[in-house]
Structure 1
Amino acid sequence: MRIIGGECRGRRLASVGKGDAGAHLRPTADRVRESLFNMLAGGFGDPCRGAVVLDLFAGTGALGLEALSRGAGRATFVENGRVALRLLRDNIGICRVAERTRVVQRDARKLGECPGDAATLVFLDPPYGRQMGEAALEAALAGGWIAEGALIVWEESAGVSAPEGLTLLDERRYGDTVIRIFENG
């Protein structure tokens, strides 16, 4: 697993290894991540440039770190898995972006109020098939974590029920992974 583009291009991220079976660590494959960021750049301008990123169910942080590498201003990673948090912190160090990141050790479904600027680009990669994405997105919207007009990239294997107020802009399948891009508002 590596960063695909931008200032950190080519940096190898910490290996998941055997991971943590209970945490359902499933990093987005390099090829899918590359397709996703090409889709964002090709169809939505340059949403990474200067973005405030929110990476929910961050896992290794690969999506948020890719956005930082491609010009995002800062990123908040929300994760509560022990192994994932270790990998996430290792990867932030590998990419040398600690001053532009914040790690929130919390269940993404219980965010509370946003302590800073609302995100303009959101990555949502919950454990597949457990309807955790819907709850996390509801919590993020209710807590003011997501700005009006923000793009939300939701990775899931099955159908999703997006909260009211989100508009589906694009949907693509990569094997058992479906990437959906929504706009808030």
Structure 2
Amino acid sequence: MTHLTRESLWSLEDYAQHRPAFRTRAIAHKRLRTVHIGPNVTLLFEDETTIRYQIQEMLRVERTFEAAGIQDELDAYNPLIPDGGNLKATMLIEYPDETERKLRLQMLKGVERRTWVRVDGHDKVYAVADEDLARENEVKTSSVHFLRFELTEAMRRDLKAGNALAVGVDHPEYTHVVGEVAPETQASLAADLN
């Protein structure tokens, strides 16, 4: 997969023109690549489109047009684009009540490393989490994590051939499984792979 460059992004003026249509397309695309694992964990599987949207929105909101600022956004977000041998996801741990969220994030330390994907016929692949910086301390985990799932060549081949994809979390305080992601989601994720 290619990474985004300054030249591949729209300027702020151009983005203002393209934004309504691109935003509609990007939101639908993100919905297609979203998997809810139980009531409180969501994985948004990232790709070039989701990251392009994130960067363009950040530049828009922050009104960034200087080369250095644009490059900072590219450097922060490009690592979240799959490289053809893996799936990458943003993990969101969601508890609407602030008091409950604080307690659960203490109880769920390490949950990001107990999150997995499994191509039918193969073993689970546990996430490599937060390679950019630590999002967990001695007291609690974060409500947002960045995950990478490295797949073997056989797993990639079988996923692209249509073997079912399961996703789950097997943390002692949170155990949920999606036995088979929706076919349209699986097809979108398979497109990330070589």
Compute the TM-score of the two structures, normalised by the length of structure 1: 0.30
Which entry has the higher C-alpha Rg, 1 or 2?
Answer: 2
User: Which structure has more RCO (C-alpha within 8 Å, separation ≥ 6)?
Assistant: 2
Which protein has the bigger helix share? 2
